[in-house]
Amino acid sequence: MDRYFVLFLLVLLFALGCSKTYYPEGKVSDRFTVSKEGIIIDSTINLEWLPDPGKNMTRKAAINYAKNLVFAGHDDWRLPTQSELMSLQDNSQDTVYKIHPVFRLGGCCVWTSEHSGQIMWSFGLYPFEDSWPHRALIGRLRVLVVRSR
């Protein structure tokens, strides 16, 4: 490859990475406040969330991520329920997915804590239709973790 083309790609990737909106500490909406550690405090349903970690995970990896996570002195993080994820749906958002941008969601579908036998439920926050829960046996989806306040 031409070295100038490679340099162009690196600059472009850097610029795209820098364009993400990261919220500083403080109130970002009537519902959400970001702590100094980056925890999203949800005053409506009295939960604390962490934003999307930026990668897709298998259901086993998602479960282990939540189970083993220690962040800001808390070790009781878990995967959210379908109803908790459904409460985040916000059709007024002018974002790719129907969720407040403070979550930095990088994919439409998020693992939930609920399962039926070998099938684990996920929740889709689609930009083009109503969001809905669906079943997933395999695949890589996004992960949001939550804890009670």
Name the nearest CA neighbour of 142 among 79, 93, 90.
79
Percent pLDDT > 90 in the chain is 36
pLDDT in tens, 115-139: 777 667 777 776 655 555 555 555 7
Whether the pTM exceeds 0.85: the reply is: no
Three-state DSSP state, 42: strand
Distance, in Å, from the CA atom of 27 to the CA atom of 34, rounded to the nearest integer, reads: 6
pLDDT in tens, 43-85: 999 999 999 999 999 888 999 999 999 999 999 999 999 889 8
Distance, in Å, from the CA atom of 78 to the CA atom of 76, rounded to the nearest integer, reads: 6
- Mention every residue, 6+ apart, whose C-beta is less than 8 A from residue 46: 148, 149
